[in-house]
Structure formats: C-alpha cells, structure tokens
Amino acid sequence: MTLYEELQARGLVAQITDNEIIDLINNGKATFYIGFDCTADSLTAGHFMALTLMKRLQMAGNKPIALIGGGTTMIGDPSGRTDMRKMLTKEDIAHNAACFKKQMEKFIDFSEGKALMLNNADWLLNLNYVELLRDVGACFSVNNMLRAKCYEQRMEKGLSFLEFNYMIMQSYDFYYMFQHYGCNMQFGGDDQWSNMLGGTELIRRKLGKDAYAMTITLLTDSQGKKMGKTAGNAVWLDPNKTSPFEFYQYWRNVGDADVMKCIRMLTFLPLEQIDEMSTWKDQRLNEAKEILAYELTKMVHGEEEAEKAQNAARALFSGAADTEHMPSTQLTEADLTDGSIGILTLMVKAGLATSNGEARRLVVQGGVLVDGEKVSAPTVSFTADQLKNGIVIKKGKKIYHKVTL
C-alpha cells in the first residue's frame, strides 16, 4: 500500500488540487508545510490531525515545514468563526511559538535537514503595504474571495477589513516559502481550502509554476461537532493545562460511534489490526477506547504517563479508591465561607461546571456524587474537616475530580 492509499484508507484525504500530489508524497519528493497560528501557549487535541499527518509524511521521506504564524496571528484567521479573534501582542505570540515547538518535537524530527520550523513574522512583518498591494494585489479577485467558505460565517455578522486580508497573508506565505525553501505543497484542514487555493494561484500567476494543496478531513464526532473540547474547554497537549489523566479520559470517553474513526485517523496502529477491531461490538468497544486513549496519551505524554493514566482510569471504572493520578483541585481557607463551601461553588472552582446555574442543574438531575453518595440538594455544603481528608466528586458516569483543602 502506498502512502497516499494509506491516507485514503484512514479517511484523511478531503480534497486535492492535482493528482501530481500522489506521486510527490509517495516518492518522498514533497517539501510541505502546515501552518499553526499561535493563539494560545499550547497546542490542542484539535491539532492532532495535522501533527500525525506531518509525522506520517516525514516517515515516508517527505520534508515538513512547521510554520508558526507569528505574523498571521496578528491578523486572525476568520475561518469557522462568528466573531473576531483576540488581538495578541508580539511578546505573547513569541512565547506561544516557543511552547508550540517543544510540543511539536514529540511528533516531528527537526534534526539537520529532516524538517524546518519557520515563523512567518520573519517576512510578513517587514512587508511594505503599498509594495505588497502592487506585488500581489492584482492576483486576487475580490469576487472570488467573497465567495470563499472561510469568510462565510463572518459575512453574516460583518467581516472586518483586517480579517479580509488573512487569505492574502496565508497565500503570501506559500509564495514566499516556494521561492526560498522549495516548499511545493501545503496541507491543512478542510476549512482552509479557499486560503490554500489562494496560495497555489498566486504562485502560478507570479512565477508560472505549479504548487499543490491537500486538505485533510476535520475530526468531528457523529453529530458533526469538532472534537477536542470537553465541557466547552479545549483539551490541551500541555500537561499543566490538561493533565495526562484528563487527556486519557477525554479519549477513553469518546462515543461508541466515533472510537474506530479516531483510531483509524489518529493512531499509527496497522490498518490490518484496525480492520479487525472494526468488527468489535458492545463491551469490546470499551477495549477499543482504552487502546485509543493509551496510544494518544503515549504519543503526547510518554509511555510512563500513559500507563499511570490507564491504571488510574481502570481503578475508577472498577470502583477502586486509587485517586493518586486523578485530576484535582486544592482549595485554600480563603475559598471557604464560615468554614464551609457549597457544592455549586465547589463544582465551579473544580472546573466541573462553568456556572452555578449549570452546577445546580447537574445536582437537581441527580448527576453529581460525592464519595459515592448522590448529592441530594444544591444547598449541600462541605466543611474544612471534610475537605482536609479530600473528597471525590463524580459528574455523570465518567468524570471524576478530587478536591482537597
């Protein structure tokens, strides 16, 4: 099976600009890039598809360029957004870029000649606006840009001229790296298709040469929602933001309808093994979820942390009391009022609910247990003495959290 055939079999290929791509990546001739705007100080589970794709392509002899969007982050990608992104300072962006590199090194070999990490701030921030307009402005049709999928949602509430420039910036990245680094291909999520076509068209019109683009299928659940978030919050690759146990639990808790798709797209297990697993049903699906969670946690946090997370999760599922690796929150006396704290406040502080209202609904619906006992009312509170020994809050069927004082 060729690399391209494997990518297809794993359900990763969404669109390609040209069949020439197939020969390039199969024969290790692609110097390709994927862009990462540094809007936070950690990558998320949502970046998994890109990171694992880069690893697969590099293993086949292709050369990855991880492009840190130090320049484009100052504009903000409007794709899939209904509002404008928060504006970051240069210092914030530089810090975030350094954090990204550390995490990417777990997936990509950046040793001599194997891969590059570039920052588009190095060329975008030095551009003269009038020169840029004269150089590339005539290559973009406003009519075509307004039809682009990436602007669709923003057009409803108003697209700022700042964000309208994003496609030009991303296209210029491809154009620049084609000339200076021999970058002949771009990969990205399927929501980036319009931006990527902008780059191939700019190269064709300015240089008279061909460049290529391929989009990968977005990782969505069976309801069509993007995966990589839990309780409305991102699942981070940084262990200080999402612990290895919480990371493991996220993948252990994916829906029955999604587990095999995630294993096929995200893990490096052989396709023959995955095909055999795809016949599993009922209880064996839980085994498949354990395999998914273990493989991804090992990739991000290492084998030792994956083992710890798996053992802790199994202990909880079996009703054992081992809470050593459970996500936890430590309160201080200042968090208490008259020596105690109510369950609603406690759940918000532990990140188990985003508001008192949400916590109240969970309690009233009978979805909250403390130390194995159902919380009877939203007025229940806990004293300092109870908290000093530590309590375990269980939300729903699968989410556990330890709270101590």
Residues 268-286 as b/e (b if ≥16 CB within 10 A, e otherwise) read: eeeeeebeebeeeeeeebe
For residue 216, list its beta bridge partners: 13, 189
* Nearest CA among 81, 148, 88 for reference residue 121: 88
Structure tokens at 26: 């199969």
Burial tier of 302 (Cβ tally within 10 Å: 0-12, 13-18, 19+) = middle
By C-alpha distance, which of 329, 328, 324, 300 is closest to 313? 324
Structure tokens at 213: 């683009």
Give the per-residue pLDDT at 150. 65
Low-confidence ranges of the chain (pLDDT < 70): 75-87, 149-154, 230-232, 317-325
What residues have CB less than 8 Å from 31, skipping those under 6 apart?
62, 63, 65, 181, 182, 183, 184, 185
Six-digit token string for 143:
């009519």
In this structure, what is the dihedral angle of CA atoms 85, 90, 94, 95, given to the nearest 10 degrees?
A: -70
131 and 58 in contact (C-beta within 8 Å)?
no
Assigned token pair, 158: 């108003």
CB 264 within 8 A of CB 217: no
How far apart (Å, rounded) are the C-alpha atoms in residues 60 and 2?
10
Q: Are 313 and 388 in contact (CB under 8 A)?
A: no
User: What pLDDT is stored for residue 214 in this prediction?
Assistant: 96
Question: In the prediction, which pLDDT does 231 show?
Answer: 59
- Count the residues in the chain: 405
Asked whether the whole model's pTM tops 0.85, one would answer no
Residue whose entry in the numeric block shows the structure tokens 């957004």: 81
What pLDDT, on the 0 to 100 scale, is given for residue 320?
Answer: 52
Report the alpha-carbon distance of residue 55 to residue 47 in Å, rounded: 13
- Classify residue 121 by burial, with Cβ atoms within 10 Å: 0-12, 13-18, 19+: buried
